[in-house]
Every structure is written in C-alpha cells, then in structure tokens.
Amino acid sequence: MTAEPWWKSAVVYQIYPRSFADSNGDGIGDLPGIIGRLDYLADLGVDVLWLSPVYPSPQDDNGYDISDYQNIDPVFGTLDDFDRLVAEAHRRGLKIVMDLVVNHTSDEHPWFVESRSGKDNPKRDWYWWRPPRDGMKGGDPGAEPTNWRSFFSGSTWEYDGKTDEYYLHLFSRRQPDLNWENPEVRQAVYAMMRWWVDRGVDGFRMDVINMISKDTSLPDGITLAGQALGDGFPYFINGPRIHEFLNEMNRVVFDSPLLTVGEMPGVTLEQAVEFTAPDRREVDMVFQFEHVGLDQGASKWDIRPFRLRDLKASFGRWQAGLADVGWNSLYWNNHDQPRVVSRFGDDSPEHRVHAATMLGTVLHLHRGTPYVYQGEELGMTNVPFDGIEDFRDIESLNYYAEATAAGEDPAAVLVSLRKMGRDNARTPMQWDDSPNAGFTTGTPWLAVNPNYREVNAAPGNPVFDYYKRLIALRHTEPVVAHGDFTMLLPDDEKVYAFTRRLGDVELLVLGNFSGDTVPTGLEGGDLVLANYPADDVDPIVLRPWEARVYRSP
C-alpha cells in the first residue's frame, strides 16, 4: 500500500483576512493580525490555513478581483509580512494555502489595462472580446454578444466604447474573464503559481476553477418567461477543455505533495470523480455545491425549507461516489455562505451550543477533508441586519438594486438577504467581549455581530473546546480519515446516523437535527465524543441537538 496523502488526515481552517484580526486600527484585518493569532489556531489543532485573497486589489469583490498576482495589498501588509506569516505558521506545524483567482482578474490588472487599450494590443486576446450582436449598435439593450446573466446581476458583457466591443465578466464588470484558450495566459498563470510555491506555500484553493473553459461558440442560454437574461451555465461550467487545462496546470506547477481544492459551482458527482481521480492529476478535491443548494430554489434568494432527508441523500451519494476513486471536501461554511448554526441548526440561546457542536460532529466524521470557516468554531451566527445600508457585499447590493427596480417589495428582498447574504459570514471575528469584539481598535469595515458579548473566543467557549476535541479525534483515530462510510436511517427526519469502519474498528456517529428528544434504536461501544455530559446517557434516546460518537471494539 502506498502512503496516504497528508491532506486526508488534515483539517483546513479558512481565514477571511479582512475580518479576522486588525493590527493597526484601520478597521480591516491584516497579515500581522493573523500572525498574532497563530497560537490560537495551533491551539484549536487545525493543520492548514487557507487565506482568502490578500493580493493587491481594488476590493470591488473583497479581493476576488486581483490587480497584481505577485504582491500583497498594502491594506493587508507587505510581502515581508507574508514571508513572516509562512515562517511563523510552519514553525507551529501549520501549512498555508493561497486563494487562486484565475478565472478573472481585476479590470485594473495591467493585463486587462493593456488588453482594452486597442484591438491590436498583443494582450487583446487574453480576455474575451466580442463585437455587438449582428446588426445592432454597441451599448444598445440586447446588443450583448450573448444573453447570459452575471452572478452579480445584469449581463455578463460590458460595452467598451473605445473599441466598440464587449468584454465578458461572469462576475462583476470589474472582474473580466481571462481567455484560457490562449496558451500565453495559461503559461503566465502557471509561472505565477510556481512563484508562490517557491515562496513556501503549501497549496491552492482555486476559485470557480471549473469556469475557465468556455464553449467558444458562445451560444445564448435558456430564458425563463418574462426574463431578458438567460442561463449561460451550460456554456461556461465544466467546458470542453476543463480537464485538459487542469491536468496541464498540475504537470507544469506541482512536483511536491501540495493540497489543491477546486471550487466548482454546478459540478456533478460524476465530474468530481474525474476531477479528483489521482491518476488523472487534476485536483485533490473539489468544493461541490449540492448540499448548500438544498434550501434554495431557482436562485439563491428563492429560499426553500431545509429537509434533513435531502441532506442525507446528497451527502450519502457523494460519500458512496467518491469511496474508491477521488476524495471529498467537507464544508458547511465559507465566506459566501450564511452561518450553518442559523441555517441548518438553531441559533437560539437555548440550543445554539448544542446545534453548533452537533453540526461540526456530523460534518467532520464523514469521509473527506473538513474545512472550518473562521468563527464556526465559536458557534458564530447570522447577523440581524437592519436595512440595506448595513450590507457591504456587491452580490447583495446589486441584487437589491435589481430586484427593487423590477418592482419587488424591498422588505421581502431584505428577508432573503438576511438569510442568504454573504455578509452573514463576513462580520468580524469575535475575539472577546471588549468593544468591537477585540477585532479592531478602530471602526470595523463591516459592523460586528451584536451577539459578540455572549459568542466570542474568550476562554471557556464550549463550542471551541468541543471543536478542539473533534479535530483531535481525526488525528488520533485513523478510522476518521481513512475508514469507509455507511449511512443508517436514511429516511429519518430528525436523526443523522452513520458508521465508519477501518479494519476491526467501527465508529457509530449520531446527530439529532431537532430540538426534540428522539429515540434512535442505535447504540454501540464506548462513547468517545459527545456534546452533552456523558453521566446520564440513555443509550437509545438523543436529547435536543445531541451528538454522540461511539467506538467499538
């Protein structure tokens, strides 16, 4: 048997640097702030830190719009700070994973500045430039080269009067898409990645990486009744050359055992098997989106009730599908998702701690590499945003403007934004109960969640103490990383139950997704982890939001 890759037994912690720790009082988190909290992260016991983008950026999408791939934004610090962060992290046994945003750049990146300067510019073809639709005048409604809707509202095409052409942007108009068909673009990206690897980074989280290959014939998408814009997904998700590009990147850039995880909206299980099969040399694992779409309808703002059976069916299918070939990533939260304890749990004072720890238990004990998003280990919750002026995220602001202009009730739009808006995850880290939760001595760029006096990282937070034990279990019990997975009770509407097995060792994992007391009929072995005191356990009944892990023999 060949040795298993290190990232199978690792836990990754995502840092959103803007909101993690501010060292200089400007209200924005920074690299020295992160360095100052490395002991906290080492104490939690995680193995890898993934940093959301810290590169120079106009910050139109909080750094996911990069204007220089080989530097650090002054708001976050300097390259010296970065080198110090890598060294200090490595000294504590923590690895560093960078966010790689190469589907698009900022419109202020020199590549794009050159590209837009004229049709004859050598970098013109580094982006997707197209003339207005046949017979139409550039800039007129409907003259866009395709009818695709952008992730951040409006068309995916921006008209540039200077050359009478449009450029493609799947996200904001300040995030033009790179043209991966052009080999010079690909080599430039690989060289940049190599530069970071040589600087000591341990891997990459690849932003919307399954969108880099597009159908070059750029067909229109299907439109729903009454809507002008259409769905371009079939033409830019998992496009014709996606596997070729990822394999090429892998062969050119990676010659040491790094961690690569591809963020892939719309990826199917069948595609994920191909992306993560080790012998294909593409990526180690993908972030899939099936489970975070279960409470959403046609769009993320169309909120549906969450049903536990759907979650089990989805996770169960991914566990089975990647059991032999490939590997799962496991996540509830990131900087784009609402807080899981508010979403699939219960954030009331009565149940929050049990719900947060139960959710962590169920997630981490699946087969795959778990990701903890900053504050998840504290039981941080969604935010009671008052009005639209409390939001900062471009996705939420654009959607609010578009929906209210189209006649939707502003109050109803706000209901969706409060539930699904990305700013729920982006409020500052709650370090203690001092003003601004100890995040900054200045004014935070986004207001702190008002519950910071109860929910924070001061010693004694029961969610934090539990996450430490949960993370430690992966490091002491090989079955957590390497065991196989069997779902139990797939139709139960309240209980999540499964086993993991490696050789003779079996874990039974039980989670109550409700505020009721529920019988499970299941027990077995020694209790190795539980989020209630173990003294008065009735083996076959779970209390509200209870989690238990049994080990046998």
Binding site for ligand ISL (CB under 6 A): 61, 64, 101, 151, 171, 207-208, 263, 265, 300, 335-336, 395, 422
Cis status, amide bond into 553, omega within 30 of 0: yes
Least distance from ligand ISL to the Cβ atom of residue 268, Å: 16
Least distance from ligand ISL to the Cβ atom of residue 74, Å: 21
Nearer to ligand ISL, 445 or 485 (CB): 445
Taking CB within 5 to 8 Å according to partner kind, which of ligand ISL, Ca ion, none is near residue 24?
Ca ion
**Distance between CA 51 and CA 77 in Å, rounded?**
14
**Distance between CA 360 and CA 467 in Å, rounded?**
7
**Distance between CA 49 and CA 372 in Å, rounded?**
10
**Distance between CA 543 and CA 391 in Å, rounded?**
37
Least distance from ligand ISL to the Cβ atom of residue 394, Å: 8
**Angle at Cα 336 formed by Cα 30 and Cα 50, nearest 5°?**
45
Taking CB within 5 to 8 Å according to partner kind, which of ligand ISL, Ca ion, none is near residue 295?
none
Nearer to Ca ion, 366 or 426 (CB): 426
Least distance from ligand ISL to the Cβ atom of residue 51, Å: 13
- How do beta strands 165-168 and 157-160 pair? antiparallel
- How do beta strands 48-51 and 12-15 pair? parallel
Least distance from ligand ISL to the Cβ atom of residue 426, Å: 10
Taking CB within 5 to 8 Å according to partner kind, which of ligand ISL, Ca ion, none is near residue 81?
none
**Which residues form the catalytic set?**
207, 263
Nearer to ligand ISL, 288 or 451 (CB): 288
- How do beta strands 165-168 and 129-130 pair? antiparallel
DSSP 219: P
Taking CB within 5 to 8 Å according to partner kind, which of ligand ISL, Ca ion, none is near residue 377?
none
Nearer to ligand ISL, 208 or 509 (CB): 208
Q: Please name which of 66, 31, 65 lies closest in space to residue 49, comparing C-alpha atoms.
A: 31
Taking CB within 5 to 8 Å according to partner kind, which of Ca ion, ligand ISL, none is near residue 545?
none
**Distance between CA 427 and CA 447 in Å, rounded?**
6
Sole binder of Ca ion in the list 6, 9, 26, 523 (CB under 5 A): 26
**Distance between CA 35 and CA 40 in Å, rounded?**
10
Q: Please name which of 281, 315, 309, 358 lies closest in space to residue 544, comparing C-alpha atoms.
A: 358
**Distance between CA 189 and CA 212 in Å, rounded?**
12
**Distance between CA 134 and CA 284 in Å, rounded?**
43
**Distance between CA 262 and CA 281 in Å, rounded?**
13
Taking CB within 5 to 8 Å according to partner kind, which of ligand ISL, Ca ion, none is near residue 30?
Ca ion
Residue nearest to ligand ISL (CB): 64
Residue 24 touches Ca ion, criterion: CB under 5 A: yes
**Distance between CA 242 and CA 215 in Å, rounded?**
11
Nearer to ligand ISL, 157 or 545 (CB): 157
- For Ca ion, how many residues bind (rule: CB under 5 A)? 5
What is the token pair recorded at 312?
């089990």
Nearer to ligand ISL, 245 or 301 (CB): 301
Residue nearest to Ca ion (CB): 30
Residue 441 touches Ca ion, criterion: CB under 5 A: no
Choose the binding region for Ca ion from 19-27, 193-201, 226-234, 492-500 (rule: CB under 5 A): 19-27
Least distance from ligand ISL to the Cβ atom of residue 259, Å: 17
What is the token pair recorded at 120?
């004859």
Least distance from Ca ion to the Cβ atom of residue 293, Å: 35
Residue 22 touches Ca ion, criterion: CB under 5 A: yes
**Distance between CA 281 and CA 254 in Å, rounded?**
10
259, 203 contact by CB (below 8 A): yes
Nearer to Ca ion, 421 or 428 (CB): 428
Sole binder of Ca ion in the list 11, 15, 21, 28 (CB under 5 A): 28
Contact positions vs Ca ion (CB under 5 A): 22, 24, 26, 28, 30
